[in-house]
Chain A
């Protein structure tokens, strides 16, 4: 049973990709929906993302990538979360991620992938249901 504390979300840009629009729009939308949101800005290594997630004690990590580096970088994030024995954090992703890679990412433990055309409303619903 969830306490009345708002859901805390880390929105993270991984790798060298500088396309922020989706991450920012989602971050602003989640905040307007009552969640607490921390945005990492661009250019974060997987190590930096995991460290932020632990330090900020978030419930959710949202990973964004639009430049094709998602397999290498998201995989590394999931490996580090396991290595650091980080528990209880929901991980989802967004950006330009081909369907074949969506399957692979879900196998790594990423709960859902929101591609182009996704709505903030659907992400809010997903988080409220799964956190």
Chain B
């Protein structure tokens, strides 16, 4: 079958002209410390040519704890920015108009709250929700499998996800409601074929959930997005993206009966593989990231994050973050690879790799279907075991030197260069405690809002309007989650070796 870019099943790219028409979004994941520091870094990156924002939140924010919670000890501002209330998110977007930039938020269990906060900031800026664009990751299944920032058990979590999809279809049409991710499962150790299969299987579960809620596929599917890893095996990664597009197109048309072509297009963001980068000889990481970024571009990604060279050691410093961005700009503007969509299409090697990965992924998808779907496969421990078995095999291969990592098990340098790394201010946590104490004193009617929330959480109403109202009144992330934890309970992982 002859395939064309922009034509079903979109193996060669979802648009006919791809980067000739529009470059991928350069969307560097960033955020750390408090809102002030993060605002400064976002404005720095935008000033230097980044074309979309990507927000990293700290673990307490992702797991529904305010910065002053005892569970947040030692974690505030470490892996991303600390956001506990509207005051914090407003500060993040100071001098950044929300109708001029799109924002992707890596947030899952607390996605409804962060989306509500973002919409509240838009209101404060005078930007109508119809002009707001961005993404929430909102992909709880991979959290249970490989990332760990879950809060509630699966059924209430899927309800919250569907609430966002339903709400945005009506109120925020420019919003990408789920970014179904394979990046993290790949970082956890799975193979390229597993990355495709487990990601699409998660996607199938979300589509199924929304359809069972009564939503029509073509009303929400065009706003689903995906998030893939780009790892070190160059041609395999290009083939992986092509196979994923082909598979998803068929799933949406044949399994879910989608009629709108936009429902069948696998739109995705890519991040180069953090796990491929080394603490030893960090400059080598610039080379690795460049090759991985090139593979993602040749693979037709819509959006790209390139890692900084200090990835294995710390959060990116300003200098290393800049170089990571420049890597994309050089590929985009100097290399010429954007001249044609799917330039490797027709290569015997890449086409056969595409077919092979498609076949392997299909086998996994069938196996998961036979288990009763991805949720059952996750709860039975199948997915977790597959991933970590692959991770262990990889480690053994490295230690046996069957797999070479330059600078680590071969071509080792005795000299260790000291990198100047990004540090988190030790006074941050006490400062946040003070800020939150002051905020809590200033507000009124918090209990009334939380009571409304509790009632809605126990009903089948869409929770988004209630959550938006809470955050408008400076109810905090932690306060909202305490109520929801009370109603839904907490997920207990059964992972074991």
A positions within 8 Å CB-CB of B: 15-21, 24-25, 27-29, 31, 37, 39, 41-43, 45, 67-73, 76, 96, 98-99, 115-117, 119-121
Of the stretches B70-78, B262-270, B338-346, the one at the interface is B70-78
Q: Which residues of A contact B275 (CB under 8 A)?
A: 21
List, sorted by A's number, 18 A–B pairs whose CB atoms are closer than 8 Å: A16-B149, A20-B388, A21-B188, A21-B391, A24-B391, A28-B388, A28-B392, A43-B493, A67-B79, A68-B75, A68-B424, A69-B59, A69-B74, A73-B73, A96-B313, A99-B418, A117-B408, A120-B395
Shortest Cβ distance from residue A48 to the other chain B in the assembled complex, whole angstroms: 12
Residue of A nearest to B389 (CB): A28
Residue of A nearest to B73 (CB): A72
- Known contacts A28-B497, A29-B392: does B74 contact A15 (CB below 8 Å)? yes
Shortest Cβ distance from residue A24 to the other chain B in the assembled complex, whole angstroms: 5
Residue of B nearest to A42 (CB): B148
Shortest Cβ distance from residue A102 to the other chain B in the assembled complex, whole angstroms: 12
Interface size on B, residues (CB 8 A): 41
9 further contact pairs, Cβ within 8 A, besides A20-B146, A116-B279: A18-B147, A19-B148, A24-B392, A41-B493, A68-B78, A69-B75, A69-B78, A73-B73, A76-B73
B278–A116 contact, CB under 8 A?
yes
Q: Which residues of A contact B395 (CB under 8 A)?
A: 25, 29, 120
Q: Which residues of A contact B391 (CB under 8 A)?
A: 21, 24-25
A21–B189 contact, CB under 8 A?
yes
Whether B459 is near chain A, meaning CB under 8 Å from some CB there, is no
Residue of B nearest to A43 (CB): B148
Shortest Cβ distance from residue B426 to the other chain A in the assembled complex, whole angstroms: 9
Whether B195 is near chain A, meaning CB under 8 Å from some CB there, is no
Q: Which residues of A contact B148 (CB under 8 A)?
A: 17-20, 42-43
Residue of B nearest to A116 (CB): B279
C-alpha gap A127/B149 in the complex (Å)? 32
A42–B493 contact, CB under 8 A?
yes
The number of residue pairs between A and B whose CB atoms lie closer than 8 Å in the complex comes to 104
B positions within 8 Å CB-CB of A: 59-60, 63, 65, 71-75, 78-79, 143, 146-149, 187-189, 275, 278-280, 312-314, 388, 391-392, 395, 398-399, 405, 408, 418, 421, 424, 493, 495-497
C-alpha gap A76/B73 in the complex (Å)? 11
Residue of A nearest to B407 (CB): A117
Residue of B nearest to A117 (CB): B408
C-alpha gap A28/B75 in the complex (Å)? 28
- Known contacts A21-B189, A25-B392: does B75 contact A39 (CB below 8 Å)? no
Shortest Cβ distance from residue A124 to the other chain B in the assembled complex, whole angstroms: 11
B497–A117 contact, CB under 8 A?
no
Residue of B nearest to A30 (CB): B497
Shortest Cβ distance from residue A115 to the other chain B in the assembled complex, whole angstroms: 6
A20–B392 contact, CB under 8 A?
no
Shortest Cβ distance from residue A49 to the other chain B in the assembled complex, whole angstroms: 14
- Known contacts A68-B75, A96-B313, A98-B313: does B399 contact A121 (CB below 8 Å)? yes
